[in-house]
């Protein structure tokens, strides 16, 4: 933990203890699980008395600035979450809850302040991915992966190199979400923590696919095709592991289209990446 993180948490604790509008305050994320490091965001939650919520909400920016000056702040999720950054570039999310009580999760919550009976504790989910959770993930991410792959000829044909680069990151995210299911471990950390949920050989092949020749002229075209090859190899195996039907027809349709369009665009050589 850095000085900036500890100083903010100490300041937040002191402030909620002195504010009659706040019934409870707690941390989730890395700090709630005792897994924080110097790069962790601070994910805080405040339970605000219903009668005082509107007043508190309208002044939340100045309220936070009294703990540490902010250089950025926006309200998200219908105003229920404050997404902010302090003058020390510490990233901060503050969720605002309204009412007399709130539910928190055992093993994933660090309480900073609580009035009697304000928090109700729920059991912590298991570390293993459930059959239902795996099925939902695979049925969501694999079709999205192939949908995005089908758009690679579009950005190549239009010469949209910046859009293509951004699209590759979406393709990469969908693939790694699928590969995470192979370990059977429930992914309970944010988007900036991935390594620990990938099997070592999966991580190695994806890193090689993304980093190899990434600066070459046709690198942005080769990356999604390399990722498609990885999905073709491991996607059906992972689906079989979790007894989920792999969308084979969609894969075949997308690859036929990609081969056709890259050939028409004069980029047949990059199709070697599909194997």
Task: Write the secondary structure of 166-206 as one string of H (helix), E (strand) and C (coil).
Answer: HHHHHHHHHHHHHHHHHHCECCCCCCCCCHHHCCHHHHHHH
Do 29 and 145 reside in the same domain of the chain?
no
Question: CA 269, CA 14: separation in Å to the nearest integer?
Answer: 63
Do 60 and 118 reside in the same domain of the chain?
yes
Structure tokens at 256: 């036929």
The residue ranges of DSSP E strands in 99-179, in sequence order, are 102-105, 110-114, 119-122
Do 270 and 164 reside in the same domain of the chain?
yes
Among 59, 91, 122, the domain-final residue is 122
* pLDDT tens across the length of the chain (275 residues): 789 999 999 999 999 999 999 999 999 999 999 989 998 999 999 999 999 999 999 999 999 999 999 999 999 999 999 999 999 999 999 999 999 999 999 999 999 999 988 999 999 888 888 999 999 999 999 999 999 999 999 999 999 888 888 899 999 999 999 999 999 988 777 666 788 888 999 989 888 888 766 556 677 788 999 999 999 999 999 999 999 999 999 999 999 999 999 999 999 999 999 98
Do 110 and 209 reside in the same domain of the chain?
no
Do 162 and 243 reside in the same domain of the chain?
yes
Do 263 and 145 reside in the same domain of the chain?
yes
The count of other CB atoms within 10 Å of the CB of residue 142 is 25
Q: What is the CATH number of the domain that holds 83?
A: 3.30.460.10
Structure tokens at 25: 């305050």
User: How many domains does the chain contain in total?
Assistant: 2
Question: CA 153, CA 260: separation in Å to the nearest integer?
Answer: 9
Do 106 and 135 reside in the same domain of the chain?
no
Do 137 and 110 reside in the same domain of the chain?
no
Do 20 and 75 reside in the same domain of the chain?
yes
Task: Report the greatest alpha carbon distance in the chain.
Answer: 70
Do 142 and 270 reside in the same domain of the chain?
yes
Q: Global pTM?
A: 0.77
Do 67 and 201 reside in the same domain of the chain?
no
Which domain does 116 fall in, by range?
Answer: 4-122
- Cα angle 70, 73, 79 (rounded to 5 degrees) comes to 140
Of 3, 61, 60, 9, nearest in space to 30 by CA:
9
């Amino acid at each position: 933990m850095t000085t900036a993180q500890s100083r903010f948490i100490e300041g937040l604790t002191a402030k909620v203890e002195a504010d009659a509008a706040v019934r409870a305050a707690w941390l989730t994320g890395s700090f709630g699980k005792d897994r924080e490091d110097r790069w962790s965001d601070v994910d805080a939650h405040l339970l605000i008395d219903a009668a005082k919520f509107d007043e508190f909400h309208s002044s939340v920016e100045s309220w936070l600035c009294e703990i540490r000056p902010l250089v950025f702040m926006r309200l998200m999720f219908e105003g229920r979450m404050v997404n902010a950054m302090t003058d020390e570039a510490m990233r901060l999310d503050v969720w605002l809850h309204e009412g007399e009580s709130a539910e928190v999760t055992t093993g994933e919550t660090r309480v900073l302040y609580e009035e009697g009976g304000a928090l109700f504790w729920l059991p912590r989910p298991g570390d293993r991915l459930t059959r239902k959770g795996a099925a939902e993930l695979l049925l969501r991410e694999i079709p999205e992966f192939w949908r995005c792959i089908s758009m690679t000829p579009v950005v190549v044909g239009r010469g949209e190199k910046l859009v293509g680069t951004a699209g590759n990151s979406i393709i990469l995210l969908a693939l790694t979400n699928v590969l995470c299911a192979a370990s059977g471990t429930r992914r309970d950390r944010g988007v900036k923590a991935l390594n620990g949920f990938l099997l070592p050989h999966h991580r190695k092949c994806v890193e090689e696919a993304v980093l190899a020749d990434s600066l070459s002229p046709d690198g942005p075209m080769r990356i999604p095709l390399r990722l498609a090859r990885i999905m073709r190899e491991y996607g059906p195996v992972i689906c079989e592991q979790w007894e989920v039907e792999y969308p084979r027809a969609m894969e075949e349709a997308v690859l036929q289209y990609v081969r056709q369009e890259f050939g028409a665009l004069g980029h047949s050589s990059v199709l070697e990446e599909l194997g």
